[in-house]
Amino acid sequence: MQDATALAQAVRRREAAPVELVEETFRRIEATEPQLNAFVTVCYEDGLAAARGELPEGPFRGVPIAIKDLTDVGGVRTTYSSRPLAENVAPADAALVRRLKAAGFVVVGKTNTPEFGSTAVTESLLNGACRNPWNLGRTPGGSSGGAAAHVAAGVLPLAHGTDGGGSIRIPASCCGLFGIKPSRGRISTAPYGDGSFSLGQSGPLSWTVRDAAAFLDVAAGYEPGDAAWLPAPPRPFLDEVGAPPGRLRVAWTTEPALPYAVDEPCARAARDAAALLEELGHEVVEQTPPWQDDSVLDRFSFLWRMGPALFPVDPSALEPLNELLARRAHETTAVEYGQQVIALQRYARLVAGFWEDVDVVLTPTLAKLPVPIGWVFESEDPWEQFTRAAEFTPFTPALNLTGQPAASVPFGEADGLPVGVQLIARAGAEATLIRLAAQFEAARPWIDRRPPLRVA
């Protein structure tokens, strides 16, 4: 099994040709799609044409990659998994896609997502349910489920995801992958605006930490007009892989920010990971950030409802959850919205301040194992669907509010399903997470733990 870094090395050594990698990827897509439904669009002609052409001499020259169907690839459909936008074709590449292509990646398709990425499972009326290769009756999790499912199944070793409330970390945990949400401002959202909080961040889902680090190196950077941006790190993130993290002060907790119960397999993974960190020489304390606030989910919904409301479509054409969110957005006054933003900013400052005294916080990534397909939508009440998603993912959205980097590391299995733990660092400290995740990877290797449905 080779990761994307190894594939790129093979191309540079002329041991593999880009067209061979792309053709093999299409073969693997065709072998798995009937079971997974991970792709919305497969770019057969464009992918082969790019692979046969003059690719940039970047670090990932000739390596195939898939882009989540919430991000524009010029000339390719961006459906947002929404029926009114089923034939929407992007006029140009998003800045991130332009950067990935400049690094030599070949785009081979767009991956499945829920409508507008609005919930914690990849299921929609337009594009159907994506399934987890570990158990086809379970979700691959998050709105980046299509990205995670095909990586876990061995179609590709690396994929692009986005994370507005946990949707890189959630599917990473559900599918046994490494996934990192970078700090706010690390990767540009251009050409689109950042919004009040810039909740959504692009990032990688991968087999290896080094692939994720190398992805960040080519994806990060300022674009003209960005409201939030970070300066380049002092050295490439790839150089942090294998670098000693030093003796870190790590707080661990199984108490989530949202008031929902945590199932024992998820809590046990966090306890065991804390014990491993202690064995590795870190200072480990059991302590919970000041993030428990019963009003946060309702306040968060004021931000979340803006997404579907800003698309130029009739709310009645949307799925029930997004119709509810859009209608509530139209009913919200500017003053009400501003009040909620200010309250959430205060909350975010309070939570982020906890990292003044610790380097990393360790938690379960999720409160439940991957839930069954359809579980979020068992109730016809769209608000119940919204809260069910939060019940599944109570540890992740707070970090989209604070803008801190957070990663999910594969740590174990329960009932034949992967279980991940979440690592959270200070804003701008992706290097700390990469060093620590690489230490986890060396101490508890996960790349050979593959699901029953796989092609590599």
- Judged against a pLDDT cut of 90, whether residue 197 lies above it is answered with no
**What single-letter DSSP state applies at residue 221?**
B
For the chain, give the mean pLDDT.
Answer: 97
Catalytic residue list: 68, 143, 167
The predicted structure's pLDDT at residue 1: 72
Sorting pLDDT into bands at 50, 70 and 90, what band is 349?
Answer: very high
Question: What percentage of the chain reaches a pLDDT higher than 70?
Answer: 100
The predicted structure's pLDDT at residue 204: 98
**What single-letter DSSP state applies at residue 58?**
-
- Judged against a pLDDT cut of 90, whether residue 290 lies above it is answered with yes
Chain segment 97-152, per-residue pLDDT in tens? 999 999 999 999 999 999 999 999 999 999 999 999 999 999 999 999 999 999 99
Question: What percentage of the chain reaches a pLDDT higher than 90?
Answer: 98
Chain segment 294-340, per-residue pLDDT in tens? 999 999 999 999 999 999 999 999 999 999 999 999 999 999 999 99
According to DSSP, the β-strands at 360-364 and 249-252 are parallel
The predicted structure's pLDDT at residue 195: 67
Q: Are 410 and 151 in contact (CB under 8 A)?
A: no
Dihedral angle over CA of 169, 170, 174, 175, nearest 10: -40
Sorting pLDDT into bands at 50, 70 and 90, what band is 196?
Answer: low
Backbone angles phi, psi at 168, to 5 degrees: -100, -45
- Judged against a pLDDT cut of 90, whether residue 456 lies above it is answered with no
Indicate the SS3 state at residue 225. coil
**Can you tell me the mean pLDDT for 60-85?**
98
State the CATH architecture for 4-443. Alpha-Beta Complex (3.90)
The predicted structure's pLDDT at residue 399: 97
**Can you tell me the mean pLDDT for 80-102?**
98
